[in-house]
Amino acid sequence: MGAWSASITGNDTAQDLIEEYKIAFSLYDVEAALVKLDECIKKEMFDESDEPEWADYKYSLADFMWKKGILTDEVRDSVIDMIDSGFGLELWEDAGSKALEERKKVLEKFREKITSEQCAPKKIKFDVYDDIFEDGEYIAVKLKTIVKNKRVGTHEWMLEKRFGEYDGKYVVMRKICSFSKRVSSLVPDMYDHEAIFQFFKGIYDDPQSIDIDKLEATPLSAFGRPYMCTYSKMAAFKRRGCVVIGRKPVGEAAKNIDINDCTCFGWGTWDDPDYQLILAALDLNRH
């Protein structure tokens, strides 16, 4: 068990299982989902004999269910029994009296929460990412640089008004290939699809004016990695009105691209995405 706080979800087990909870309660009714979760976790991960792990599982499950308005009396009562009996506290005892007392306080507040009135049942959904582009397609993506509270990097070219001047213009990338990643132990044949793209120099006013035969590839980041990897569903692409401007067959070498050759690009998860795209398109990452 890896724990970074005494909170109910401040541990690796709880975080790893959140997606499984979403999948289970999306696909099955509550009782069936509970049975399948227990069966899956006992088979693939651990059982009640590993008290700290089992406690993190059951506590995070009850927390998830309460927040979604689907906590059953059976789950609530079993969790209360675990709390009252001190189940799974051994590692906290080993960590010292201060850590143990902090954990006990968290559990007492958690006990109060799950015995209080919960909300009406909420719709539970999960995301699985499918390909939306064909291999070899060139995609023009619209920049968004005039957004409230937008974070802007510190490169001298991006300061003050210059960054905003790129709003509504386009950058170009090409989908090279995609690969599948298993996302669930509960449903073994469920996969995400992540796409690998090549990025190009240039910022354009009109996507229809772009000549794909004249594009020059450039790394997306200062690390010099020639490709970028992102979820292929890419809702951000759809919101930005992306335009497919052409396609060329992808060579056999694309099949050998390693993830280590890629910059993992998350829309808004690190420095402002448009800032990163503009730096690359202007070839400023190398300066």
Q: Confidence class of residue 270 from pLDDT cuts 50, 70 and 90?
A: very low
**More confidently predicted of 255 and 160:** 255
- What is the average pLDDT across 246-250? 93
**More confidently predicted of 124 and 190:** 124
**More confidently predicted of 191 and 44:** 44
- β-bridge pairing 262-264 and 227-231: parallel
Instruction: State the sign of the Cα–Cα–Cα–Cα dihedral 251, 255, 260, 264.
Output: positive
The beta-strand segments (E) located in the chain are 137-142, 170-182, 191-199, 227-231, 243-247, 262-264
For Cα atoms 166, 235, 123, give the angle at the middle one, nearest 5 degrees.
Answer: 140
| Cα–Cα distance measured from residue 219 to residue 244, given in angstroms and rounded to the nearest whole number | 21
- Which of 90-104, 147-161, 162-176 has the lowest average pLDDT? 147-161
> Taking all residues of the chain, what is their mean pLDDT, rounded to a whole number?
85
Instruction: State the sign of the Cα–Cα–Cα–Cα dihedral 212, 215, 219, 222.
Output: negative
Q: Above 90 in pLDDT, residue 203?
A: yes
pLDDT score for 228 = 86
